[in-house]
Amino acid sequence: MTNKYMYFIANWKMFGGLNSLNSLHKVVKFFKNFKKNKSIKIVYCPPNTLIRPMSKKLETSQIEVGAQNCHENETYGAFTGSINSLMLKNVGAKYVIIGHSENRQAGETDKLINLKIKSALKSGLKVIFCIGETLQQKRKKITKQTLNKQINLGLKKINNKNKVLVAYEPVWSIGTGLIPKSSELLNTISHIKKKIKKTKVLYGGSVNPKNISELNSVNNIDGFLIGGASQDPKKFIDIIKKTYN
Ligand code: PGA
């Protein structure tokens, strides 16, 4: 049970075509009638190909749309195959996920992440900044050092941190069904909050209707970044309902 303002961010990753938008009305209807909807922000982050049609579909709802990544260049340029934050804003995105571990693993550095965050903020997007330790780093007990480094470099020289939400996503938890122990999570989230003052901190990694009550018992979490389960409207709705039960 919670009375807090909570974020529910759906990360669709590289899934979905136009027909995936057909089931959105279920979430729209649920949200409209949900009595706690004033204390909730829902943001869908579909693949770039769906940002425009999804924004149109959600136009009259309170649900917002975001992207999953952006190029670091603030202006247009000769970068074949890339999309920058201005372009995302232009088609209806209000948020962008930056620093997701799947991109970090593909070679995205803290420095590049920092440039992307700066360009996104400059374009007027809010940023969902992902950080998290690998299993190896957890075993070596260097979780906090790892997060400190990601935060120090990723948010270097960024002043308007109030437009940045942090998503703590342990890499070993993404898509695996594993979640951190509540006591560990409480401790890590409070560490992040001490380090970046006045920032909302969300949790991500295998969030589903079965574990949401356990996760939500960690009372310093400000919301969830949900991958797999967010593609199924029933599961997504269940997660939100159970957060407020
Ligand atoms: P998952 O993904 O919920 O499928 O573990 C979360 C994420 O990668 O943001």
Atom of ligand 1 nearest to the CA of 229: 3
The pLDDT tens digits of the residues spanning 48-84 come to: 999 999 999 999 999 999 999 999 999 999 999 999 9
pLDDT at 1: 59
The pLDDT tens digits of the residues spanning 167-210 come to: 999 999 999 999 999 999 999 999 999 999 989 999 999 999 99
Residue 62 belongs to a domain:
yes
Residue 206 belongs to a domain:
yes
What long-range pairs does 49-54 form, CB within 8 A, spacing at least 24? 49/17, 50/12, 50/16, 50/17, 50/18, 50/20, 50/21, 51/88, 51/91, 51/92, 51/93, 52/91, 52/92, 53/18, 53/21, 54/21, 54/24, 54/92
CATH number, position 204: 3.20.20.70
Residue 153 belongs to a domain:
yes
Residue 156 belongs to a domain:
yes
The rounded mean pLDDT for the chain is 97
Residue 1 belongs to a domain:
no
- Kind and range of the H or E run holding 110: helix 110-122
206 token code pair: 């295998």
Which residues form ligand 1's pocket by a CB distance below 6 Å? 11, 169, 174-175, 204-207, 225-229
CA angle 166, 76, 153 (to 5 degrees): 30
Provide the β-strand partners of residue 79.
Answer: none
Cβ atoms of residues 97 and 67 within 8 Å: yes
Pocket test for ligand 1, best of 207, 208, 238 (most atoms within 8 A of CB): 207
Q: Which of 121, 234, 215 has the alpha carbon at shortest distance from 225? A: 215
Q: Which domain holds residue 156?
A: 6-243
Among protein residues, the one with the nearest Cα to ligand 1's atom 3 is 227
**Total tally of structural domains belonging to the chain:** 1
Residue 192 belongs to a domain:
yes
Average pLDDT of the segment spanning 19-33: 97
